[in-house]
Amino acid sequence: MRKPLIAGNWKLHNTVEESCQLAQALVTDLNDVTETEIVIAPVFTSLSDVGKICAGTTVQLAAQNCHCMDDGAYTGEVSVPLLANVGCSHIIVGHSERRQYFGETDHFINVKARAIIKHGLTAIICVGETLEQRESGELFEVIATQVRGALEEISPEQMSQVVLAYEPVWAIGTGKTASSEEAEEVHAYIRGLLHGSYGAEIAAQCRILYGGSVKPGNISELMAEDDIDGALVGGASLKADDFAAIVRYKKTLKMAAT
Ligand code: 13P
């Protein structure tokens, strides 16, 4: 059984004070949640203070990015050990905004993921196609390249420290969610790739999150799909009530197709 995971990616939002207020509201609201893992990813400047608020609660801390080297002359970068030092248990890598605006490649994402795993943290690795790629029939090829590239040299034993997130670029911040069927089609495909590379057991254990305009109103339908194990939430994770409602989504059975 895969434990659902709901993660909030706060992106470039919130001062330290605002981050702490939001984190405080969440740890209070969600203190009884045990059936779902909860992760929040504030900006770097808020991590240390938010980490203290999350310590010993049901809410875990993530960074939105990291560097692959542990230390050295890498101006402007933050390493995995330093992120662990302020309480991070998870780090997001390969977000489409980093691929798009900062030129991150599958290889660089893989190197970072391996650094995260080496230090005992969990990598949340994002993949996803643009609308153009989807419309030109490249969807599965793009996803396969990104997944295989990101998982290069990651061993079967290390896969327990990997969470994948499928985030179609056209659904991010647009209000346009992939339908649950569209999302499930890609999630099932990704699980098939894992099966091919790592075998049935690891494919069945690895969690695959969906991201892209997830809201309290669509989470239940997404979570009813067999291969959707959680969500990576952007905009709606900035409002305590909305994020808490997403974490407390109602479990529903998938409606039979008519
Ligand atoms: P939105 O939920 O705002 O569409 O963002 C999704 C996302 O990019 C999470 O990483």
Pocket of ligand 1 (CB under 6 A): 9, 95, 167, 172-173, 211-214, 232-236
**For ligand 1, atom 7: residue with the closest CA:** 234
The predicted model scores a pTM of 0.97
| pLDDT digit string (tens) for the chain, length 258 residues | 899 999 999 999 999 999 999 999 999 999 999 999 999 999 999 999 999 999 999 999 999 999 999 999 999 999 999 999 999 999 999 999 999 999 999 999 999 999 999 999 999 999 999 999 999 999 999 999 999 999 999 999 999 999 999 999 999 988 888 899 999 999 999 999 999 999 999 999 999 999 999 999 999 999 999 999 999 999 999 999 999 999 999 988 776 554
Q: Tell me the one-letter amino acid at 18.
A: E
Residue 54 pLDDT? 98
Homologous superfamily in CATH for domain 5-247 = Aldolase class I (3.20.20.70)
Closest CA to 126 of 176, 91, 102: 91
Ligand 1 centre to CA of 73 (Å) is 32
Residue 127: both structure tokens together = 């993949």
Q: Which positions ≥6 away from 21 have C-beta within 8 Å?
A: none
Our answer to whether residue 187 is catalytic in this structure is no
Our answer to whether residue 95 is catalytic in this structure is yes
Helix (H, G, I), strand (E, B) or coil at 76: coil
d(Cα 212, Cα 95) in Å, to the nearest integer? 11
Residue 177 pLDDT? 83
Ligand 1 centre to CA of 71 (Å) is 30
- Residues 243, 29: contact at Cβ < 8 Å? no
97, 104, 167, 184: the catalytic one is 167
Mutate which of 10, 11, 174 for ligand 1? The one with the most ligand atoms within 8 Å of its CB, which is 11
Residue 159 pLDDT? 98
**For ligand 1, atom 2: residue with the closest CA:** 234
What residue spans define the domains of the chain? 5-247
